[in-house]
Amino acid sequence: MLKNRLLILIISVVITLIALFVIATSEAATEWLLEQWTHIFWAIVFAIVAGVLIHYFQLKIAHKPKISQDTVTIESKAVLATLILPNDHEIRITEKETVFGREDFTGVVSVDNLLFIGRKHFKIVRRNDGLYIQDLGTKNGTMLNGDALQQTESRKLKAGDKILVANVVEVNYVET
């Protein structure tokens, strides 16, 4: 792109010099050229500097990569565990603490049953020795392998555990 513009600039200067040479063959034109040569020289220098500056600012503004303007990049995180939903969809757990609620089960549970699941129903927390589940004080509760979790109780999860959310949806816990 820069080479094309530079080539156009050089061709323009050469054409201008040829035109001045042709004009200079007449005596009146030669006299005028001798009087005005400094003005012509500075006009050419100004045009070149202006062209370079315009090109520089155009590159600075126009050529920002699209990825920095429109795209959000997400660093992939290690999957700590996976919850398998009844429709075989998976929810991957990648954070130290993940809260699950009604929104996570949309499309898996009927709309009527979604109302039994709290907006923030239970959470899974990573600790040094593994992942733990805790009910967040919900009205309809959370069960782990058939045992109800108390509101402040945390239980360690192990592969194959079954989590029953609000007595409406059962989720399988899989370690990775």
Q: What is the percentage of the chain residues whose pLDDT exceeds 70?
A: 85
pLDDT top residue among 41 and 71: 41
Q: Where are the domains of the chain?
A: 2-70, 81-175
Q: Which strand ranges, in their side-by-side order, compose the sheet holding 130-135?
A: 97-100, 122-127, 130-135, 154-156
The SS3 assignment for 118 reads: coil
Q: What is the pTM of this model?
A: 0.57
Residue range 32-39: mean pLDDT, rounded:
78
What's the confidence (pLDDT) of residue 64?
A: 54
Q: Which strand ranges, in their side-by-side order, compose the sheet holding 162-165?
A: 90-93, 81-84, 169-175, 162-165, 142-144, 147-148
- Binned at pLDDT 50, 70 and 90, residue 54 comes out as confident
Express each pLDDT in 143-155 by its tens digit: 999 999 998 799 9
Q: Is the pLDDT of residue 22 over 80?
A: no
Q: Which CATH class is domain 81-175?
A: mainly beta
